[in-house]
Amino acid sequence: MQILVLGSAAGGGFPQWNCNCVNCRRARAGDPAASPRTQSSLAVSADGERWLLLNASPDLRQQILANPPLHPRRGNRHSPIAGVVLSNGDVDHVAGLLTLREYQTLSVYASDRVHGVLRDNSVFNVLNPAVVARRTLPLDSAVEIGGFDGAPIGLRVTAFEVPGKVALYMENEKAGPGFGTQSGDTIGLEIRAANGRHFFYLPACAALTPELGARLRDAPLAFFDGTLWQDDEMVSAGVGAKTGRRMGHMSIAGEDGSLAQLAVLGVRRRIYVHINNTNPILLAGSPERLQVEAAGWEVAYDGMEIRL
């Protein structure tokens, strides 16, 4: 199985268009310690021929250009991208679907809840149902992924519930502390090839529950929510009023952070993805970067390639 990190930054990317925080300034200035990153997405393939996107970011066009395995190979119109799996309805994970118009056959897998979002936003009708199959990912059961015609591409995906929050643009302030969050709004994914090789992908996770811990225990590889270093990071950087908790992301540092919480699970390879532009782990050589690396974590970068 091959995995390509198409984009390793959180929503907004790094640098973010309107952000003048220290990190974004350094990235914009071309500081080699602050490599730019596009928005959150992976590509996976069992055979190197047919690829599955895990989320479709607003930067997808640029990401396809940067990754030759995703370029057309035959005829006048072709794409090795057979399908897309969506892990939530956030803009950074669904807006790239609009890039995949142009009457190209494709399948789109998501929870019922996220399919509802696509249905309710008619702009996604540019994905013509004659060529784009929308299929539901049930929770806790492995699904054989196929392209538009259903032909298997050698990957099985199991979706499971993770603590999270409804997409920002769907929040209902009157609906109480969850802002109207429902089951299926945020899912984690286990991707498994026919040879049994597998990994987990959780670009958004608000807390590590005992159930989630049990699922991840001794896993060979997990890509995990690296949005913020600490909960109030955006507040103290002066770029926003929201905490990580408020946005549905557990932070890296602290007792209830992912660094400590995942340390005991025996996950052999741990990689932070969906990293917000304010996060100090984005800076090579920063104390926070050195701390996660010393704990055995890797910080994803665009173009990172993994063979399992």
Q: Is 283 in the site for Zn ion (CB under 5 A)?
A: no
Q: Is 59 in the site for Mn ion (CB under 5 A)?
A: no
Q: Is 11 in the site for ligand MLT (CB under 6 A)?
A: yes
CA 43 – CA 306 distance, rounded (Å): 11
**Under a CB-based contact definition with an 8 Å cutoff, are residues 293 and 299 in contact?**
yes
Residue from 66, 98, 143, 168 binding ligand MLT (CB under 6 A): 168
User: CB-based burial of residue 217 (10 Å sphere; 0-12 exposed, 13-18 middle, 19+ buried)?
Assistant: exposed
Of 133 and 167, nearer to ligand MLT (C-beta) is 167
Which does residue 168 bind out of ligand MLT, Mn ion, Zn ion, none, counting CB within 5 to 8 angstroms by kind? ligand MLT
Nearest alpha carbon to residue 71 among 57, 46, 51, 99: 51
Cβ at position 131, least distance to ligand MLT in Å: 28
Which does residue 89 bind out of Mn ion, ligand MLT, Zn ion, none, counting CB within 5 to 8 angstroms by kind? none
Residue 250 has which token pair? Answer: 């557990």
Cβ at position 168, least distance to Zn ion in Å: 17
CA 305 – CA 161 distance, rounded (Å): 27
Q: Is 247 in the site for ligand MLT (CB under 6 A)?
A: yes
Give kind and range of the element (H or E) at residue 225. strand 222-225
Q: Which of residues 252-281 bind Zn ion (CB under 5 A)?
A: 277
Of 21 and 46, nearer to Zn ion (C-beta) is 21
Residues 6-45, mask of contacts with Mn ion (x by CB under 5 A): ----xx----------------------------------
- Count Cα neighbours of 98 within 13 Å in the Cβ-side half-sphere: 13
Rg of the chain's alpha carbons, rounded to an integer?
Answer: 18
Give kind and range of the element (H or E) at residue 92. helix 91-94
Residue entry with tokens 């010393």:
294
Residue from 10, 100, 216, 271 binding ligand MLT (CB under 6 A): 10
Q: Which stretch binds ligand MLT (CB under 6 A): 15-23, 45-53, 56-64, 88-96?
A: 88-96
Q: Is 91 in the site for ligand MLT (CB under 6 A)?
A: yes
At 47, is the secondary structure helix, strand, or coil? coil
Residue 13 has which token pair? Answer: 């990317």
Give one DSSP letter per residue of 204-216, joined into a string: --S---HHHHHHH
Residues 13-52, mask of contacts with Zn ion (x by CB under 5 A): ------x-x--x----------------------------
Q: Is 21 in the site for ligand MLT (CB under 6 A)?
A: no
At 35, is the secondary structure helix, strand, or coil? coil
Which does residue 19 bind out of ligand MLT, Mn ion, Zn ion, none, counting CB within 5 to 8 angstroms by kind? Zn ion
Q: Is 231 in the site for ligand MLT (CB under 6 A)?
A: no
**Alpha-carbon 124 to chain mean position:** 20
Q: Is 225 in the site for Mn ion (CB under 5 A)?
A: no
Q: Are strands 2-7 and 41-45 parallel, antiparallel or unpaired?
A: antiparallel
Of 34 and 228, nearer to Mn ion (C-beta) is 228
The residues of the shown chain that bind Mn ion, judged by CB under 5 A, are: 10-11, 90, 92
